[in-house]
């Protein structure tokens, strides 16, 4: 059931139409058939008859809308006949029968809003409104609303009147004679702006399309009404400027001063809403000049760069505002300035700008033509250090292109990613602490370290630590090393020490012990592989200093060993004394070294000084003041290994003129290769006595002062007296070993010598013994007459009568004593004395080298003999197998001790003291002594000589029958020199 409305009726409301009478339906059918037939027979025509539309009544009396040309239209001529004729298509009329523009606008508005309704209560109200406005006077004269309302069923009249009232109010307030659209584009910056839409009336809406911009939701087209809307500019990529435009259209149906008029000749006119064209509007922004902001984020191409190489930066170019502008088809070039700060000794802290005074390594420029990666020009790395890049884009430097840049750009200083590191080269200059040292000394080296290519770099404020390794090498041979870059293959590494340098400065190495004579030179190095992993990239390269630098070399001066024995103890007044002095310990080429400017030349001579007479032998002590002691004479011999018989030559006579005690003291001033030496004035072997008044029988003893566990030692007694009872004898007893801190105890000897016959004043030996544990061994000697009565007895713990025995050292040392002289055809051998504790499985080999010149040469070319490896069980002596050298000459021995893996523990030096065998054709000559003693020694000497001669002949005969042993000569022939010698003896 229809109801009245108090607001403009909704145009979607419908109401069932009133039923029409039979005659009306018949007329309608006939009319329709006529129209159809006319369309088939006649030519097409745009005119067509109107029909009843939505409303009440029939052809006789009707209120509501007519239907024509597919639209609903309303009568405007109240008294005219219905438009049943041929109704023309509508025409737009903006002036009609004197109606005002407002009236036309109201008619247009009402028909546009409700004219197409299918509700007869609405269309009836619209029809009444149209008649009232378009044909007002007749409408009033006809009876107005009340009269026309009678065409509406009574039950619906109230509703129709309510609708009519609402329509009239809406027409009065909402009809617009001149509808309009207005657009405005306003920009806040180059990209952000607003679109303002103005409409009349305010309810108009329609699609809006943007060009080079979007709405906030990203769309370019949107249905909008009046209001202000944010827009975002979207210029084409690379354009230097652009303009935003907006276009809007709106149908504006029902708005405007006009109506569509349907004309039917001879019948009343009907009206419908005006068919105005849609309203349109457009607007554009001013031309918007564009700029862009390039920025640079960088990463160095290579973090660590060697000195002399190129420092480059990889520029990651981005655009943080706009897009890279293109002019005339080419990107705008932008010049970027790169400044490389450095060298710095550590990574700088990140900051907006470098500190004042920061050094600059160089400047470069890079031309940028778009986003992407660019590698900068390089700057040669001048020295070690940290180098950090800072990039800047200066708008003022861009010339005519400056307008395209939004602003300046400056990189931050000290970014880690923008920092190159040029590694530093740590090196050392060293000086051996102790130019002249002796075997067993602990030596050190002082190194002054620095970076030779610039700053010593830091991490976290502290210098990067560097491990320096110093290796002490035993220099081959007995001469100073020759400086060079290569370490000789036969140089033996004695040990390696480490110094961790925490920055430039001076450091002292850990101690190293030098065990044998010769030259020891330090070689220092820095190995990257020996550094902590994090340190390695900061070091430029491995480094090693020269081998054999003189100031990095110690001379471990050879100790001399001089043994001597007076030919006799008693020398009568006016007679002559004779001494046999055996000298060992000199390098074989001593005293031939003439110096090299740093190392001084060899001292040429030994001095043998005869001090005396002394009234008592008690004055002959180790601490005798030689400066004030009386001197009988002085004799010099070459400072060279050998046996020297002094006192035989008339130029070196030893002739005591007064009774008393005399002692021969041998001294050597020392040089850069050999230690100074002076024999003890208390040495009983170097005494002789010129009797005066009768001398009582007495005994003075001198034991071996020190020994190692397992080493042999002995005691020596000097028996003095004018008359030694016939049948006298000595017995030596050894006690211990005991703690050196306890009082000496001599109760049960572990060693008792055989009876040693004493026939005259002189020196007598106990024989050797050894012990297997450390401690003090106390000697006591007893002189008996033939009846066993004690003539003299030593005191337990007496001075000079103690041998201190110590443990074998952990560190292995090797000394040697080759057979010094042999006759051609006699066997020779070498003996190694091993102290310390050699490792299990250690082996020892001996080699012999023939010498042809003054300089010791031990190479494969001069080697004539080599032994198989001999297993070393422990400390002690190891003797090589004998060898018969086939030529007269000088032969040098070397010994090599290796562990079970073949690593060299010790290698003897070519020409080392005690390592020379001289092969002669005849026995060495000896000078006969002339003494005041009796001739008791001559028969013994002749007998011994005969025995030796017989043995030599037998040996030669035996060897002639046996194949010659040894090596072949250079031509591959068997040696013939021994046979030649044998032939000579036969002749």
pLDDT tens digits, 343-385:
999 999 999 999 999 999 999 999 999 999 999 999 999 999 9
- Residue 829's contacts (CB-CB under 8 Å, 6 or more residues apart) are 818, 819, 879, 880, 881, 882, 883
The beta strand positions in 376-425, using DSSP E, are 379-380, 385-393, 409-410, 419-422
138 exposed, middle or buried (CB, 10 Å; 0-12, 13-18, 19+)?
middle
Residue 190 maps to a domain: no
Of 888, 920, 952, the residue that ends a domain is: 920
Q: Are 53 and 70 in contact (CB under 8 A)?
A: no
User: Based on the number of CB atoms within 10 Å of its own CB, is 422 exposed (0-12), middle (13-18) or buried (19 or more)?
Assistant: buried
Q: Please count the other Cβ atoms lying within 10 Å of the Cβ belonging to residue 149.
A: 20
| HEC string for 666-684 | EEECCCCCECCEECCCCCH
Q: Residue 481: give its domain's CATH number.
A: 2.60.40.1930
**3-class secondary-structure state, position 802:** strand
pLDDT of the residue at 982? 33
Judge if 482 and 540 occupy the same domain.
Answer: yes
Answer whether residue 985 is part of any domain: no
Query: Which residue bears the tokens 């259209």?
Result: 249
Instruction: Among 124, 140, 174, give the residue marking a domain's end.
Output: 174
Q: Which two tokens stand for residue 929?
A: 């002594």
Q: Max CA-CA distance within the chain?
A: 200
The predicted pLDDT at position 940 comes to: 33
The residue range of the domain holding 575 is 561-689
Comparing CA positions, the residue from 190, 189, 216, 212 lying closest to residue 283 is 212
467 backbone dihedrals φ, ψ, rounded to 5°: -90, 120
Please report the sign of the dihedral spanned by the C-alpha atoms of residue 83, residue 86, residue 92, residue 94: negative
Closest to 339 in 3D by CA, of 362, 318, 316: 362
DSSP-based helix, strand, coil % in the chain, nearest 5: 15, 40, 45
- Using DSSP bridges, classify how beta strands 270-273 and 71-75 pair: parallel, antiparallel or unpaired: antiparallel
401 and 313, same structural domain? yes
Q: Which helix (H) or strand (E) holds 340?
A: strand 334-344
Give every residue of the chain whose pLDDT is below 50, as ranges. Answer: 1-8, 10-45, 925-987
Burial letters 167-178, b for 16+ CB under 10 A, else e:
bbebbeebbbbe
Rounded CA-CA distance 489/491 in Å is 6
Question: CB under 8 Å to 876, separation ≥6 — which residues?
Answer: 710, 833, 834
Please report whether residue 56 resides in a domain. Answer: yes
| pTM of the complete model | 0.64
Alpha carbon 415 to its chain centroid, in Å, reads 20
What pLDDT does residue 610 have?
96
The predicted structure's pLDDT at residue 17: 38
Residues with Cβ < 8 Å from 149, sequence gap 6 or more?
Answer: 128, 157, 160, 161
Tell whether 651 and 680 lie within a shared domain.
yes
Do residues 392 and 413 share a domain?
yes
CA atoms of 362 and 385, how far apart (whole Å)? 14
Q: Which of 719, 733, 754 is nearest to 796 (CA)?
A: 733
* Buried b / exposed e along 433-472 (16+ C-beta atoms within 10 A): ebebbebebebbbbbebbbebbbbbbeeeebbebbbbbbb
Sorted by sequence, the CB contacts under 8 Å of residue 771 that are 6+ apart come out as 709, 736, 737, 750, 777, 805
The answer to whether residue 945 sits within a structural domain is no
Residue after which a domain boundary falls, among 139, 174, 209 = 174
Same domain membership, residue 872 and residue 790: no
Contact 847, 893 (CB under 8 A): yes
- Candidates 797, 696, 706, 791; CA nearest to 746 is 797
Question: Does residue 272 sit within a domain?
Answer: no
Q: In this structure, what CATH number is given to the domain that contains residue 863?
A: 2.60.40.10
The predicted pLDDT at position 923 comes to 59
- The answer on 127 and 80 residing in a single domain is yes
Nearest to 415 by CA among 294, 296, 319: 296
- Rounded-to-integer distance, Cα 75 and Cα 87, Å: 12
Of 25, 29, 5, nearest to 15 by C-alpha is 5
Q: Are 391 and 459 members of one domain?
A: no
- Between the CA of residue 253 and those of 211, 273, 278, 403, what are the distances in Å? 27, 8, 8, 50
**For residue 120, what are the β-bridge partners?**
none
DSSP string, 931-944: -SS-TTHHHHHHHH
Structure tokens at 930: 């002339």
Neighbouring C-beta atoms of residue 618, cutoff 10 Å: 9
**DSSP letter assigned to residue 126:** H
CA 368 vs CA 57, 236, 317: distances in Å: 85, 21, 8
Q: Are residues 157 and 66 in the same domain?
A: yes
Report yes or no on 872 lying in a domain.
Answer: yes
Q: How does DSSP assign 170-239, residue by residue?
A: HHHHH--SS-EEEEEEEESSSSEEEEEEEEESTT-EEEEEEESEEETTS-SEEEEESEEEEEEE-PPTT-
40 inside domain: no
Q: Which two tokens stand for residue 596?
A: 């090299």
Radius of gyration of the chain (CA): 66
> In the chain, how many domains are there?
6
- Examine the domain organization and report whether 416 and 332 are in the same domain: yes
Report how far residue 389's alpha carbon sits from residue 893's, in angstroms, rounded to the nearest whole number: 66
Q: Crossing angle for the helix pair 154-174 and 101-114, nearest 10 degrees?
A: 130
Nearest C-alpha neighbor of 210 from the set 201, 219, 202: 219
DSSP 628: T
Q: Is residue 962 part of a domain?
A: no
Per DSSP, the three-state class of 775 is strand
Same domain assignment for residues 588 and 476: no
Answer whether 417's CB lies under 8 Å from 298's CB: yes
Please tell me whether residues 545 and 649 are part of one structural domain.
Answer: no
CA 299 vs CA 220, 320, 364, 391: distances in Å:
40, 18, 16, 12
Helix then strand count (H, E) for the chain reads 8, 68
Q: What is the pLDDT of residue 443?
A: 94
> Are the CB atoms for 877 and 898 separated by under 8 Å?
no
Say whether both 379 and 349 belong to one domain: yes
């Amino acid at each position: 059931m229809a109801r009245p409305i108090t607001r403009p009726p909704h145009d979607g409301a419908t109401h069932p139409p009133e039923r029409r009478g039979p005659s009306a339906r018949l007329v309608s059918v006939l009319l329709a058939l006529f129209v159809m037939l006319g369309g088939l027979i006649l030519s097409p025509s745009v005119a067509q008859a109107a029909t009843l539309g939505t409303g009440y009544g029939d052809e006789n009396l009707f209120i509501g809308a007519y239907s024509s040309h597919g639209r609903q239209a309303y009568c405007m001529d109240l008294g005219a006949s219905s438009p049943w004729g041929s109704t023309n298509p509508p025409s737009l009329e903006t002036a009609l029968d004197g109606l005002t523009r407002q009236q036309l606008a109201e008619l247009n508005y009402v028909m546009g809003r409700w004219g197409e309704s299918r509700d007869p209560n609405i269309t009836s109200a619209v029809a009444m409104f149209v008649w009232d406005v378009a044909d007002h006077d007749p409408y009033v004269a006809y009876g107005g609303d009340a009269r026309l309302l009678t065409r509406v069923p009574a039950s619906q009249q109230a509703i129709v009147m309510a609708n009519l009232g609402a329509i009239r109010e809406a027409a009065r307030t909402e009809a617009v004679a001149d509808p309009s659209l207005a657009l405005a584009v306003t920009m806040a910056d180059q990209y952000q702006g607003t679109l303002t839409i103005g409409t009349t009336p305010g309810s108009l809406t329609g699609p809006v399309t943007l060009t080079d911009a979007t709405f906030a939701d990203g769309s370019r087209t949107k249905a909008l009404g009046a209001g202000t809307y944010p827009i975002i500019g979207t210029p084409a990529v690379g354009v230097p400027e652009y303009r935003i435009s907006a276009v809007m259209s709106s149908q504006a149906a029902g708005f405007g001063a006009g109506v569509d008029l349907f004309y039917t000749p001879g019948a009343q006119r009907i009206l419908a809403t005006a068919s105005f064209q849609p309203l349109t509007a457009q607007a554009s922004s001013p031309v918007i000049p564009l700029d862009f902001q390039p920025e640079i984020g960088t990463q160095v191409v290579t973090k660590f760069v060697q000195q002399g190489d190129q420092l480059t930066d990889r520029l990651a170019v981005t655009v943080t505002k706009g897009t890279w502008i293109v002019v005339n088809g080419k990107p705008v070039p932008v010049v970027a300035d790169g400044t490389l700060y450095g060298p710095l000794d550590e990574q700088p802290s990140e900051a907006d700008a470098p500190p004042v005074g920061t050094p600059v390594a160089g400047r470069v420029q890079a031309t940028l033509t778009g986003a992407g990666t660019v590698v900068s020009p390089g700057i040669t790395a001048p020295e070690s250090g940290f180098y950090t890049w800072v990039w800047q884009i200066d708008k003022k430097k861009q010339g005519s292109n400056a307008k395209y840049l939004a602003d300046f750009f400056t990189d931050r200083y000290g970014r880690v990613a923008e920092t190159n590191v040029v590694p530093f080269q740590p090196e050392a200059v060293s000086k051996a602490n102790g130019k002249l040292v002796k075997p067993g000394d602990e030596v050190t080296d002082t190194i002054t370290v620095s970076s030779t290519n610039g700053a010593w770099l830091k991490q976290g404020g502290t210098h990067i630590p560097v491990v320096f390794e110093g290796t002490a090498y035993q220099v081959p041979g007995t001469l100073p090393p020759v400086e060079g870059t290569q370490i000789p293959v036969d140089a033996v590494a004695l040990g390696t020490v480490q110094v961790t340098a925490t920055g430039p400065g001076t450091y002292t190495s850990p101690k190293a012990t030098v065990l044998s004579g010769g030259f020891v030179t330090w070689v220092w190095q820095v190995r990257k592989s020996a550094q902590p992993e994090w340190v390695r990239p900061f070091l430029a390269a491995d480094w090693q200093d020269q081998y054999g630098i003189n100031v990095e070399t110690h001379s471990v001066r050879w100790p001399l060993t001089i043994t001597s024995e007076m030919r006799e103890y008693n020398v009568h007044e006016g007679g002559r004394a004779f001494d046999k002095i055996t000298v060992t310990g000199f390098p074989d080429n001593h005293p031939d070294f003439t110096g090299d400017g740093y190392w001084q030349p060899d001292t040429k001579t030994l001095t043998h000084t005869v001090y005396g007479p002394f009234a008592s032998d008690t004055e002959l002590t180790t601490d005798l003041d030689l400066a004030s002691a009386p001197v009988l004479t002085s004799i010099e011999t070459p400072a060279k290994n050998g046996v020297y018989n002094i006192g035989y030559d008339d130029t070196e006579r030893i002739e005591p003129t007064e009774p008393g005690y005399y002692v021969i003291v041998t001294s050597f001033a020392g040089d850069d290769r050999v230690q100074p030496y002076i024999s003890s004035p208390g040495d009983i072997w170097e005494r002789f006595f010129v009797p005066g008044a009768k001398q009582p029988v007495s005994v003075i003893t001198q034991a071996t002062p020190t020994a190692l566990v397992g080493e042999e030692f002995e005691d020596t007694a000097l028996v003095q007296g004018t008359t030694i009872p016939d049948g006298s004898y000595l017995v030596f007893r050894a006690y211990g070993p005991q703690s050196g801190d306890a009082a000496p105890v001599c109760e049960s000897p572990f060693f008792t010598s055989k009876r040693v016959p004493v026939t005259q004043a002189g020196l007598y030996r106990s024989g050797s013994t050894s012990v297997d544990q450390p401690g003090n061994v106390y000697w006591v000697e007893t002189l008996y007459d033939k009846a066993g009565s004690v003539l003299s007895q030593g005191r337990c713990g007496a001075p000079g009568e103690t041998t201190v025995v110590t443990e074998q050292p952990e560190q292995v040392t090797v000394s040697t004593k080759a057979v010094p002289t042999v006759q051609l055809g006699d066997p020779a051998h070498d003996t190694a004395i091993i102290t310390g504790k050699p490792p299990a499985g250690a082996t020892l080999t001996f080699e012999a080298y023939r010498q042809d010149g003054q300089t010791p040469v031990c190479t494969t070319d001069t080697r004539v003999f080599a032994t198989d490896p001999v297993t070393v069980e422990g400390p002690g002596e190891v003797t090589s197998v004998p060898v018969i050298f086939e030529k007269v000459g000088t032969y040098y021995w070397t010994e090599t001790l290796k562990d079970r893996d073949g690593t060299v523990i010790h290698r003897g030096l070519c020409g080392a003291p005690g390592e020379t065998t001289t092969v002669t054709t005849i026995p060495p000559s000896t000078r006969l002594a002339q003494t005041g003693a009796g001739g008791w020694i001559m028969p013994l000497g002749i007998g011994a000589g005969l025995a030796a001669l017989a043995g030599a002949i037998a040996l030669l005969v035996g060897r002639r029958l046996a194949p010659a042993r040894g090596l072949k000569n250079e031509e591959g022939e068997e040696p013939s020199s021994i046979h030649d010698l044998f032939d000579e003896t036969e002749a």
